Structure 1
């Protein structure tokens, strides 16, 4: 069973949901009426965090689950938590200023790449060594 990876998946989904609430709050705070997605740089940064997270989820989630299946539930979950922490740091940094998004982005990107490389390597290993 993959209980830890399932829990991290739920946490990542919750994080994404909370980011969507941040966009709603930013719309109100900066007077950006739906469906507009521009007009205030402070709003636009919060909006981009939400959209960038959506862009990364299709990379992160399959890599997370394949890593859990082919390597380890516990290690996948730990790397998943690192990814979530990176996304939160990305959000808090980017919400302040565009040039403060780098560390969080690097952390989450590194975690996703490790998950993908590990999963891909394990799958190839099993194909070559049945």
Structure 2
């Protein structure tokens, strides 16, 4: 069973859900009425951080699960937590200023790349060495 990876998946979804509320809160704070997505730079940064997280979810989640299946549940979960921490740092940094998002972006992207490369390597290894 892959309990750790499943739990980290739930945490990632919870994080994304929380980010959704942050966008709603920013709409109220900065007076950007739906369906508008522009109008105040402070709102736009929160919105873009949320959308960028959505853009990374289809990269992160399959890589997380394939890594867990082919390599290790515990290591996948650990890297998944690193990815979540990176996304939180990205969101909080970007909400303050666009130039404060880099550290979180690097952390989450490195975690995602390790998950993807590890999974891809393990799958290729098993294809070559059945």
Name the CA distance, whole Å, in 2 between partners of 1:50 and 1:90: 10
Shift of residue 66, structure 1, vs aligned partner: 0.1
Match of 1:52 in 2: 52
Matches within 5 A, 1:9-48: 9-48=9-48
1:102 equivalenced with 2:110 (yes/no): no
Structure 2 unmatched runs, 5+: none
Shift of residue 103, structure 1, vs aligned partner: 0.2
What is the TM-score with the length of structure 2 in the denominator?
1.00
1:125 equivalenced with 2:125 (yes/no): yes
The CA RMSD over aligned residues, in Å, is 0.2
Shift of residue 68, structure 1, vs aligned partner: 0.0
Aligned residues: 130
Match of 1:69 in 2: 69
Name the CA distance, whole Å, in 2 between partners of 1:121 and 1:113: 12
Structure 1 unmatched runs, 5+: none
Shift of residue 107, structure 1, vs aligned partner: 0.1
What is the TM-score with the length of structure 1 in the denominator?
1.00
Name the CA distance, whole Å, in 2 between partners of 1:96 and 1:17: 20
Runs of 4+ in 1 over 4 A off after TM superposition: none
